[in-house]
Amino acid sequence: MAAISGVVIPYVDGGEPMGQFSMITQEQVGFYNDNGFITVEDVLPMSEVEELRRVTDEFVELSRSVTEHTDRFDLEPGHTPERPMLRRLKEPQKHHEVYARMLRNDRILDVVEALLGPNIRSIGAKLNMKSPEGGSQVEWHTDWAFYPHTNDDIVEVGIPLDDMELENGALMGLAGSHRGPALSHHENGVFVGAVSRDGFDIEDATPFLLKAGGISLHHVRLLHGSAPNLSTRPRRLLLQGYMAADAFPLSGIPDWEAWNERMVRGEPTNEPRLEKVPVIFPEPKPARVGSIYEIQRQMGESHYEGGVEKYAE
Ligand SMILES: O=C(O)CCC(=O)C(=O)O
């Protein structure tokens, strides 16, 4: 298994809760600000995790009937009707009320509020699934490279449906990278959705090891990625993005009403907050657009070429 060092994420059992944000302490907020990520244990009761698993199994069943990517499903290369390997359920909150409710879950929003303040807008969601023995890697990237905004008060919440371990392809982040310069996600002048291997060492990464029921939170400018799943266990991770209501996308807002329907807490605004943030725009686009997996396939060399064993001790 990859030699991963990284930083030690504080495990908080009790601690001094931040007022109404009882799930997270001042120490954890400080850790997030310094490192660009945090994990929080026991946010969701297991009954809610089990509901997510049950509904997710239904979508995997439905994916047996498709052989190509659709608006809803992104398929693993080995996907067949006999052995469905659904790699991503896109925008799950649009397809089932269980996911829609999770996007507005108060315990999750309490934690997000501690990081972003009281006025919060949703960016959307995705459910990434790594099937046992072959679920794809996600090449190293920042979310910021895909959607730069007027400020970077933007966070991605990871909700593991399975215990997230190194062996099944845990999400990993590079501590402190969220404070660095804008990173090129281009090759040969074209956006490929990932940084090149030269600029960083996967060995320095911190894996977000979590029991189902906990959540991870990572900053929009954090460099992160994850290895293929070589274990016999699945790794399903529901990802929900949130931003401060005054963070406006640099690509513009095509529909003002739809934009404000994304508010999940507090009040919307028509006054974007402009911060001095470093940006490289995700243009020009590559020949194949689609999910992050499809965009990243156009990289010259995967970070995991030759398998994760390449990074073994
Ligand atoms: O599923 C993962 O491990 C990484 C997810 C991610 O970074 C993404 O989908 O943008």
Is the pTM value of this prediction over 0.85? yes
- Residue 229 Cβ inside 6 Å of ligand 1? The answer reads no
Atom of ligand 1 nearest to the CA of 137: 3
Q: Which domain holds residue 99?
A: 22-138+153-176+208-270
- Residue 157 Cβ inside 6 Å of ligand 1? The answer reads no
Give the Å distance between the CA of 76 and the centre of ligand 1: 14
Residue 41 lies in a domain: yes
Residue 7 lies in a domain: no
Residue 286 lies in a domain: no
- Residue 292 Cβ inside 6 Å of ligand 1? The answer reads yes
pLDDT at 213: 97
pLDDT at 307: 46
- Residue 172 Cβ inside 6 Å of ligand 1? The answer reads no
- Residue 9 Cβ inside 6 Å of ligand 1? The answer reads no
- Residue 142 Cβ inside 6 Å of ligand 1? The answer reads no
Atom of ligand 1 nearest to the CA of 141: 7
CB neighbourhood size of 274 (10 A): 10
- Residue 226 Cβ inside 6 Å of ligand 1? The answer reads yes
Give the Å distance between the CA of 267 and the centre of ligand 1: 29
Residue 10 lies in a domain: no
Residue 53 lies in a domain: yes
Residue 307 lies in a domain: no
CATH no. for residue 134? Answer: 2.60.120.620
pLDDT at 313: 32
Residue 258 lies in a domain: yes
Atom of ligand 1 nearest to the CA of 170: 3
Which protein residue's CA is at the shortest distance from atom 10 of ligand 1? Answer: 143
Residue 93 lies in a domain: yes
Output the tens digit of pLDDT for each of the chain's 313 residues.
456 778 888 876 655 555 555 689 999 999 999 999 999 999 999 999 999 999 999 999 999 999 999 999 999 988 999 999 999 999 999 999 999 999 999 999 999 999 999 999 999 999 999 999 989 999 999 999 999 999 999 999 999 999 999 999 999 999 999 999 999 999 999 999 999 988 788 899 999 999 999 999 999 999 999 999 999 999 999 999 999 999 999 999 999 999 999 999 999 999 999 999 999 999 999 888 888 988 998 888 888 875 444 433 3
- The number of distinct structural domains making up the chain is 1
